[in-house]
Amino acid sequence: MIAKSSFLFLFSFVLLLLVGCSDSPEVTESEASTEIKTVIDQSIWSSIVDDKWLTVHDLTELVYPQSRDPAIVWGEIISSEKHNLEKRLQQAVDTGKITQEKAHETLRLFNDYQWVKEDMAEGEADSSIPEWMNGYAYTFKVPTGYTENTRDYPVVIYLHGGQATYPGQSNVFMDQFYMPDENPYILVAPAKTEWDWDADKIVDVIEDFSANLRVNRNRIYLTGISMGGRGTYIVAAAIPDVFAGLMPLSSHHAPYSYVQLAPLVAHLPIWTSHGDQDSISSYDMAAEMVRELEKRQADVTFRTVVGGDHEGWDTIYGNPKVINWLLSQQKVSSAPVTISTTASNNSTCLLTGGEIVQDGWSGKDTGSNSCNQCRCMKGGLACTKMACHQK
């Protein structure tokens, strides 16, 4: 078993090589973790200023026991994509980014590492909650005129690429999004620290900003790039009645195919784009997803970028025609945010007071005064302010 410090280097380095897909300069897992703070700032909602990014940390107090350890997910990816890793390392050598010796060392570490939970020294006990189990911090920006009227606004939620980032890293990139004067919208950008985007956590982001901003619940849109494009499908499939339209771009493919989600999102209008020379995310899988959607008579537009690699998102988001298409989509009626999961109908949680509740239940854990609000999902409890514990 290699040392923890070696793993952190390896994890971050190969993430940069294998999934070089964030919208702004890459950060390592350790760099991201120094930026994400668990700070409650209730005054943020009273200090809203037009066209100014603000950051909400409140939801980092939520704990989601069903979250997947990203190191374990990496193990799954390695087993299926080791050849791709070797190719990326050789490309890095050929372009002078790393030496041949460093490439060999990285491969050796991958071959030697036991892809299980993070190493701990013998006798060491760690009772702290890992970052990837916590809820998302997120940034938001209201458009010009928001503070001068009382109407509700559409919302565009943007899911970043890459595995981990800090809140605010996407702000400069999102400032390039086209904002029509006659149809302005609120921008929201969560920041994750695990591999895939988690629908449960997005639900709480939506509920949080909806409780504090004037939101048109019939016009909430979801978009993202690379891992965020894949996340757009994952999240929308789990909460299929929330969004008015989807815009996944250059959707990443590992460690499992998102094509299986086609039946769960085919009822939604979808505009998607992918470069046919993309060396990071599979173009073939994107095309297969579109074929599956078309079999179900979905309203899907697929833009192939001939000769395009894993890039070009600023041009898409800055295109008035594309953004106006997204904003033209509208749900027939609004509905409460609920979760649709693949978990068994028999999945339950046991509250501290002895009550048994089914997946999807939300309320107060009557046996504990420390929990303000809990949710049962996939057999695990998430609780505001303090972690509920699965029994």
Place 378 in a pLDDT band, splitting at 50, 70 and 90: low
Look-up of token digits 């010009």: 144
Q: What is the pLDDT of residue 363?
A: 67
> Are the CB atoms for 305 and 276 separated by under 8 Å?
yes
- Considering only residues 261 and 370, tell me which one the structure prediction assigns the higher pLDDT: 261
* Least confidently predicted of 143-147, 311-315, 382-386: 382-386
Q: How far apart are CA 315 and CA 176, in angstroms?
A: 9
Q: What is the pLDDT of residue 85?
A: 72
pLDDT in tens, 112-171: 655 444 433 344 334 478 889 999 999 999 999 999 999 999 999 999 998 888 899 999
- Considering only residues 377 and 368, tell me which one the structure prediction assigns the higher pLDDT: 377
**pLDDT over threshold 80, residue 194:** yes
**pLDDT over threshold 50, residue 354:** yes
Residues 104-110 have a mean pLDDT of 77
Q: Which two tokens stand for residue 231?
A: 């996340």
Q: Give all domains of the chain, ordered by start, each with its CATH number.
A: 131-328 (3.40.50.1820), 348-383 (no CATH)
Q: What is the pLDDT of residue 219?
A: 97
Q: What is the pLDDT of residue 308?
A: 93
Q: What is the pLDDT of residue 367?
A: 57
pLDDT in tens, 268-292: 999 999 999 998 999 999 999 999 9
pLDDT in tens, 219-231: 999 999 999 999 9
Beta bridge partners of 273: 249, 303
Percent over 70 (pLDDT), the chain: 70
Place 14 in a pLDDT band, splitting at 50, 70 and 90: low
Q: What is the pLDDT of residue 333?
A: 54
Tell me phi and psi for residue 8, to 5 degrees.
-60, -40
**pLDDT over threshold 90, residue 330:** yes
User: Strands (DSSP E) along the chain, which ranges?
Assistant: 54-56, 137-141, 153-159, 186-191, 215-225, 245-249, 270-275, 300-305, 348-350, 356-358, 362-363, 374-377, 380-383
Q: What is the pLDDT of residue 73?
A: 79
* Residue 19: count of CB within 10 angstroms of its CB: 22
**pLDDT over threshold 80, residue 53:** yes
Place 362 in a pLDDT band, splitting at 50, 70 and 90: low
Tell me phi and psi for residue 175, to 5 degrees.
-65, -15
Fill in the DSSP letter of residue 134: B
Q: How far apart are CA 132 and CA 251, in angstroms?
A: 21
Distances from the Cα of 27 to the Cα of 15, 116, 169, 231, angstroms: 10, 23, 9, 19
Distances from the Cα of 268 to the Cα of 112, 202, 204, 296, 331, angstroms: 44, 18, 21, 11, 9
* Least confidently predicted of 20-24, 208-212, 301-305: 20-24
* Least confidently predicted of 142-146, 251-255, 306-310, 326-330: 251-255
Q: What is the pLDDT of residue 30?
A: 30
The rounded mean pLDDT for the chain is 79
The three-state secondary structure class of 266 is: coil
Residues 358-364 have a mean pLDDT of 67
